[in-house]
Chain A
């Protein structure tokens, strides 16, 4: 019997994301993929899936679903979300078995912006240009190229409940304070005088409510350019920090355009992209310049964690009793400030 997830509600900005669409940047096609690639990979790896398997990326708007057809095993990892399965609160990084008819609720918790719901066997959705990643702006990938909504049915790849026992995913804290984000300067840092580079690194920068999957907007003291702010368009990597004319940095994220025409003062290192993505509007942060070797070292540490077995500890039921649940403030009316621009 084919198992499927049936969505009962989905806030704005909930999409299907796999490891991203690769090989078509040269034709203007953005990679898309998860905003927090580390959390996305952990959710998949906890189930024995490929790290880049398709999973649901849940936004601050939250998600509620039920299971149809056959039991499934799911894993959730990412920001500090509130997870409730049939009235029972679960910890924010968890593997659980869902019987048909079970109701799973994910709601924004005290911190974090994105969390990932992976399912053993993966989601069975058609691929576009080799990937199931949703790029809603161009209507590509995922389910009909759009954000998910109530009523959607997502078939599960291979009807398997997986071998993974239910339990708590033992991972480095996924809820990491933004604090200082590491960057490599460039590729156009020479468009800025030395004092402007210093001001950029020191911040403090405040994460604006304007952000979405395309970009994280920062607010702070205006930066000025030494060489103007128009450059012939060149390639843009995820994490590129461009500074347009008004001097407020914009960090380009998973759904960014493939090329851009503003000077890029620095680029967030791969290991810190997820931490930046999880910073809520209003969060203050600063940047620290590191060397290429340091950035590669941080990347290698994440890679080593993801390629070794992920430990699952048994759930201590008493910790998550209904009394505990009642003690939580399960806010139902989250409004997603991260609207599409």
Chain B
């Protein structure tokens, strides 16, 4: 339609105190790179009146105080930053995240596998073999949206939500994978559970991952899950950060 993915992004108002800079309308690493580059450039030297930056799949939402930062000046500033060579932002990390696909943690794995014509162990192996990109957070604290789910298990979401899952569930649905910190009813399929706390308000870095990071799931058995879960509960970070 009218919104293609040309060099110049669209500037859309979300009320008078938020500006959406939209680079495209699909889930695409190249679009995500542009969103994150602008996010880094603005965070490196925020103008007076800038409040919060929210990177998503295809846009950056800029919350600002319009009484201190004029909209036209903000748009001009964004265009300036986009014209400059990309700010070397932080280096994306590669995370190895333990995930237990076994019962009772991978509650919906057999159901998903059945629908995709696979054995449960095959579906788990496919999920664990892929490399994922952290695109964005949303929905609830620490709810991590991932890209990179293999086609073989890219199922759509349920038409009707299932009852609440456990916290720290690893999910598949809508062609994506995700990790939920909180227990909630969901239209996604619960394929596993990680012992890691993606949201721990008492920890110095309350959120482990940054958008743009890469992620691989490391299969663990239920006994290892219980051990790592206890260590994570005690405050230890059980995911491993690797040099990219």
A27 and B1 contacting across the interface, CB-CB below 8 Å: no
Closest residue of chain A to B58, judged by CB? A232
For residue A267, give the distance in angstroms from its CB to the closest CB of chain B: 4
A234 and B199 contacting across the interface, CB-CB below 8 Å: no
Q: Could you give, for residues 59-77 of chain B, a 1 whenever the CB lies within 8 Å of some chain A CB and a 0 otherwise?
A: 1010100110001000000
A188 to B182, CA, bound (A): 29
**Chain A residues in 8 Å Cβ range of B140:** 28, 137-138, 257
A296 and B67 contacting across the interface, CB-CB below 8 Å: yes
For residue A144, give the distance in angstroms from its CB to the closest CB of chain B: 13
A258 to B211, CA, bound (A): 15
| 8 Å CB interface, B5-50 against A | 12-18, 20, 22, 25-27
A138 to B67, CA, bound (A): 32
> Does A22 make an interface contact (CB < 8 A)?
yes
Not counting A235-B18, A237-B18, A270-B17, a sample of 11 additional A-B residue pairs whose C-beta atoms are within 8 angstroms of each other reads A22-B51, A25-B61, A27-B207, A28-B139, A232-B57, A233-B56, A234-B22, A235-B61, A237-B17, A258-B138, A295-B16
B52 and A26 contacting across the interface, CB-CB below 8 Å: yes
A239 to B66, CA, bound (A): 16
Interface residues of A (CB under 8 A from B): 22-29, 128-129, 137-138, 140, 184, 186-188, 190, 227, 231-240, 257-260, 264, 267-270, 292, 295-296, 299-300, 303
Partner of A232, one of B26, B61, B201: B26
User: Looking at chain B, what size class is its interface with the partner chain?
Assistant: 35 or more
B57 and A184 contacting across the interface, CB-CB below 8 Å: no
Interface secondary structure of B, over-half rule: loop
A235 and B17 contacting across the interface, CB-CB below 8 Å: no
A237 to B180, CA, bound (A): 22
A22 to B51, CA, bound (A): 8
A233 and B54 contacting across the interface, CB-CB below 8 Å: no
A23 to B51, CA, bound (A): 7
Closest residue of chain A to B70, judged by CB? A296
> Does B150 make an interface contact (CB < 8 A)?
no
Question: Would you list 7 pairs from A and B whose C-beta atoms are within 8 A, ordered by A residue?
Answer: A129-B206, A227-B1, A232-B58, A234-B20, A237-B61, A269-B15, A295-B66
> Does B160 make an interface contact (CB < 8 A)?
no
Query: Which of B2, B14, B15: most chain A CB closer than 10 A?
Result: B15
B16 and A240 contacting across the interface, CB-CB below 8 Å: no
A257 to B54, CA, bound (A): 13
Query: Which of B20, B22, B55: most chain A CB closer than 10 A?
Result: B20
B54 and A232 contacting across the interface, CB-CB below 8 Å: no
B138 and A233 contacting across the interface, CB-CB below 8 Å: yes
A269 to B13, CA, bound (A): 11
A232 and B56 contacting across the interface, CB-CB below 8 Å: yes
Partner of A190, one of B3, B61, B141: B3
B54 and A26 contacting across the interface, CB-CB below 8 Å: yes
> Does B137 make an interface contact (CB < 8 A)?
yes
Partner of A25, one of B13, B26, B52: B52
Query: Which of A25, A28, A29: most chain B CB closer than 10 A?
Result: A28
What 9 A-B pairs come out closest when comparing CB atoms? A235-B61, A259-B138, A187-B12, A295-B16, A267-B15, A28-B137, A237-B18, A237-B14, A235-B54
